[in-house]
Every structure is written in structure tokens, then in C-alpha cells.
Amino acid sequence: MSLVETTTNDAPLVLGTHTLRSRLIVGTGKYDTLELMQQSLEASGSECVTVAVRREKLYDPTGRNLLDYIDFHRYTLLPNTAGCYNARDAVRTAKLGREILLGLENPGADWVKLEVLADTKTLLPDPVETVQACEQLVGLGFQVLCYTTDDPVIAKRLKEVGATAVMPAGSPIGSGQGILNPNNIRICLEYLKGEDPDYPVIVDAGVGTASDVAFAMELGVDGVLLNTAIAHAKEPVRMAHAMRHATEAGRLAFQSGRIPRRLYASASSPEDGVIDRTSN
């Protein structure tokens, strides 16, 4: 039916050699149970999930392996370097992820979500180490999806050293503050997509609720990556549904060309023939 097509005829999100129909990428950490994670992933509508691949992170307290709870036919795995605080560790962790996924014959072996943090307290990204790690991983043949701050200059440098996608933070990881500086995201978009409109920019981190996701997409980013906002909501599965709708809503609204903001505007019905002018 024609109207449904309007929704579904959006171009897919192309990230290097990977193609995704959903523009929402979700994490797999922080859930109370692996079952809750499974249901939330499904509800999110995501086709790509990111996994912290260090061995000690793959097992839950009862010894179950996270990877056994992810349907590889349904989701593309995106290994990440969570827990790394310098370029060397991040590169090593990326290699570990590749090794594990090659062992699983999983197509996620060729890419990585790079995340190099500055400290365990704020979890802010370390821009200098991130640039170094990105450059090294690109040299090692990885397709690098690169988490970073919202600093447009660092974002540009990451693209220059070969990042497949740049993923600026909306606000600190897990802070739930949404997009604190839309101005910076807009300059990131101008820098990264100005002469290369298909270059992918994804907001990663900081999202707290559905309107944050919609707002991010309305700025013109290509996707949103989040974890805590779903995993730590009181009802994660329901919030996953919310995020799926919010991603779609924000994407469509961006494409639709919104009305301008004004102090006040014209009425919800035309003023022609106003009753107290024409008929009193």
C-alpha cells in the first residue's frame, strides 16, 4: 500500500560493506538478564547489536555466554572496545573481537566500534588516543565506527584517518542528557557530509529517552546507537519499542521538511471568512 511504502522506501543505512534497514543500533550490556536483553533487542527493531568482546565480559554470573543469546541470522554483530583507556588496549581488543567473530564465521569480524575512554569516572572519550587507535585499526584492515566527542575538528580528523563512520556523543555515556550541543552536531554534519553526503554520522551515547532519539535524527544524523537508555529503563522492552518508533519518527521528520519556528503564526484554519467579521 502506498502509504506504508512512504515509510519503508527510505534508503538503508550503509556502513562500509554493511547495510542496515534499521537506523538504530543497540548495545547488549547492562541488562538484568540475558532474556531481557533478547526481548529488548527484538523490540528495538535493530539489525545490528554491539558487543563488548573481551572474554570476561561475554559470560554472565551463571557462566552463560552472551553470544549464545544473540540470533546471528537476525543481527549483525558489531564488536566494541568498551573498557579500553588507551590506543594500545583498544587495538588489542579489536583484534580479539575479530578473532572471536572469525571463529564464529560471523560477518561482524571485519568491523569494530572503537571506543577509547579517558577515565573510568566520566567515561568521556579520549580524543587523542581515539585518533591514534582509529588510524592503526584502519591500517589493520578494520572498518572502524568511531565513538568520539561532539568536537567537529576531531570528527573531521577521524574521517581523514579513514574511519568508516564517525559517532559523536550526544552527552556522556549513560548520562541520559540527550543532545547537549546540537550546534556541534550540526558542524560535524557540515564537516563530514558537506561534500560527501553519504558519509555516515551516528549519534552514540547520552540518549535518555525517545524524544532525544527523534531530536538527534531530526538534526540529520544517519542513525543512533544507544544502550543504557533501554537497558536501565524501568521497562526495557517497552523502551526498546519506544526507541524503534523514535528513530523512525525522527528520520521521517528530517526528510519531511519541518515548518519554521515563529513567535506566533497563522491559525489552524484560514482566517478568511472569520465569523465575527463577516456575519455579525
Catalytic residue set: 113
Q: Does 65 bind its own copies (CB under 8 A)?
A: no
| Residues between 172 and 201 that touch its own copies (CB under 8 A) | 172-177, 180-181, 183-184, 186-187
86 is in an annotated binding site: no
Contact criterion met (CB below 8 Å) for 103 and 69: no
Give the C-alpha separation, 106 to 246, whole Å: 29
174 is in an annotated binding site: yes
Residue among 18, 98, 157, 159 that touches its own copies (CB under 8 A): 157
93 is in an annotated binding site: no
Give the C-alpha separation, 26 to 13, whole Å: 15
Closer by beta carbon to its own copies, 127 or else 200:
127
Q: Does 162 bind its own copies (CB under 8 A)?
A: no
Q: Specify the residue for cell string 506566533.
A: 264
Closer by beta carbon to its own copies, 200 or else 250:
250
Nearest to 168, CA basis, from 224, 84, 88: 224
Residue among 7, 17, 19, 65 that touches its own copies (CB under 8 A): 7
Whole-number CA gyration radius for the chain = 21
Nearest to 43, CA basis, from 66, 68, 22, 73: 22
Q: Does 69 bind its own copies (CB under 8 A)?
A: no
C-alpha cell of residue 205: 551515547
Nearest to 25, CA basis, from 279, 261, 203: 203
| Residues between 250 and 279 that touch its own copies (CB under 8 A) | 250-253, 255-276, 278
| Residues between 86 and 125 that touch its own copies (CB under 8 A) | 86, 89, 92-93, 115, 117-118, 120-125
Q: Does 280 bind its own copies (CB under 8 A)?
A: yes
Q: Does 159 bind its own copies (CB under 8 A)?
A: no
DSSP state for residue 21 in the 8-state scheme: S
Contact criterion met (CB below 8 Å) for 223 and 202: yes
Neighbouring C-beta atoms of residue 11, cutoff 10 Å: 9
Provide the mask over 12-51, with x wherever binding to its own copies is found by CB under 8 A and - wherever it is not.
Answer: ---------------x-xx--------x--xx--------
Q: How far is the CB of 201 from its own copies (least distance, A)?
A: 16
Contact criterion met (CB below 8 Å) for 130 and 162: no
C-alpha triplet 77, 79, 128: angle, nearest 5°: 145
| Residues between 218 and 247 that touch its own copies (CB under 8 A) | 218, 227-229, 232-239, 241-246
Q: Does 215 bind its own copies (CB under 8 A)?
A: yes
Q: Which residues are annotated as a binding site for 1-deoxy-D-xylulose 5-phosphate?
A: 174, 205-206, 227-228
